[in-house]
Amino acid sequence: MNKLLLSLLPGCLTLSLYAETWPKNYADYGELIVVKLDSAPFPHPDRAKGHQYHEKLFTAEKNYSDNSVAIFVPKGFHPADKVDFVVHFHGWNNHVEKVLSHYQLIQQFAESGRNAVLVVPQGPYDASDSFDGKLEDENGFKKFMSEVMQTLRQREVIKSEPIGTIILSGHSGGYQVMSSIVAKGGLSDEVKEVWLFDALYARTDKFMDWYKDHPGRRMIDIYTEHGGTKGETEKLMASLKVPTQEIPFLFKKESEVTSQDLKKNQLVFLFSELEHDQVVDKHRSFCEYLKTSALAPIK
């Protein structure tokens, strides 16, 4: 077997697993489609030589070549006048298959009963890196969602319906691509909600510019004691109390927040006593945010 074929074999095996194993794992909840998209985050010129973090080199071949995207359509989904989406971005040292399983994203999504489609693109594969390639380029998110829509039409999940509401959800390092999307992704008007799962490390101004420029939007920032986001979140809350700003917001302990709190308030800060890696699924927060979102339920 020649060297070229050997180098391609792992990718072929991975694609085979994507196409056959994953859908079977989640068949009880709906249809999981795993595809390779040209508009997915990687490969990208800025990681053509890989990425160095401290003493470790993450290579383009191993960490920045996978253009897989998981698209989940829940049972009972029916296209309305428009198609609504939740797009979730994973953090450092992770990959899509692990994210779906570890945080029970599909189970939580199905449990919420929302008439929408979940999309999880592969970011840096098992790498210590927040950069999300093409989705951080100008209009990169618009191109990506256009290709997602094309995939759904080809699979006859939808027909000619346009994009409706988009919710951005991200854990940890997923904040960076989300900030780029609301600032220059090309679909800022369609983004109705942003959920930061212990993820507000920086680029706060981009999130707040989007929030201020789009009345009626909802932003939820859940943070922990040791996740590295407490300082930035508390600084933001303090700035919102300044008389010249005075933007109303809700602050509560995550253990005390109610569904009504989440429905009535547009800017929500929640302090969680959970660990950094628990905030997405330990208390079923992803599901609860879905249930209290602007997304319509499945009829």
Q: CATH classification of 17-291, choosing from 1.10.760.10, 3.40.50.1820, 2.60.40.1930, 3.40.630.30?
A: 3.40.50.1820
Q: Quickly state the pLDDT bin for 2 (edges 50, 70, 90).
A: very low
**How much is the pLDDT for 99?**
97
User: Rounded to 10 degrees, what is the CA torsion of 63, 188, 173, 102?
Assistant: -80
Average pLDDT, the chain: 93
Dihedral sign for Cα atoms in the order 184, 187, 189, 192: negative
State mean pLDDT over 194-211. 98
| Alpha carbon distance 80, 187 (integer Å) | 19
- Minimum mean pLDDT among 90-99, 241-250, 289-298: which range? 241-250
Answer whether residue 3 shows pLDDT above 80: no
Q: What is the pLDDT of residues 19-68, one digit of tens each?
A: 567 778 999 999 999 999 999 999 999 999 999 999 999 999 999 999 99
Answer whether residue 131 shows pLDDT above 60: yes
- Domain positions in the chain are 17-291
Q: What is the pLDDT of residues 111-123, one digit of tens each?
A: 999 999 999 999 9
> DSSP string spanning the chain?
--HHHHHHHHHHHHHHHHHHHHHHHTTTTEEEEEEE-TTSS-S-GGGTT-EEETTEEEPHHHHS---EEEEEEETT----SSEEEEEEE--SSB-HHHHHHHTTHHHHHHHHTBSSEEEEE--SBT-S----GGGGSTTHHHHHHHHHHHHHHHTTS-SSPPEEEEEEEEEGGGHHHHHHHHHHSS-TTTEEEEEEES--SS-HHHHHHHHHHSTT-EEEEEEESSSS-HHHHHHHHHHHTSTTT----EEEEGGG--HHHHHH-SEEEEEE-S-GGGTTTTT-HHHHHHHTSSPPBP-
Global pTM reads: 0.93
Residue type, 84: D
Q: Quickly state the pLDDT bin for 13 (edges 50, 70, 90).
A: very low
Q: What is the pLDDT of residues 218-266, one digit of tens each?
A: 999 999 999 999 999 999 999 999 887 789 999 999 999 999 999 999 9
Percent of the chain with pLDDT over 90: 89
Q: Quickly state the pLDDT bin for 16 (edges 50, 70, 90).
A: very low
CB of 120 closer than 8 Å to CB of 70: yes
Q: Which residues pair with 53 in a beta bridge?
A: 56
Q: Quickly state the pLDDT bin for 8 (edges 50, 70, 90).
A: very low
**How much is the pLDDT for 86?**
98
133 to 35, 122, 140, 188, 291: CA distances (angstroms): 17, 10, 9, 18, 31
What residues have CB less than 8 Å from 263, skipping those under 6 apart?
A: 292
Answer whether residue 9 shows pLDDT above 60: no
Answer whether residue 77 shows pLDDT above 90: yes
Answer whether residue 1 shows pLDDT above 60: no
**How much is the pLDDT for 6?**
36
Q: Is the peptide bond before 45 cis (omega within 30 degrees of 0)?
A: no
**How much is the pLDDT for 244?**
78
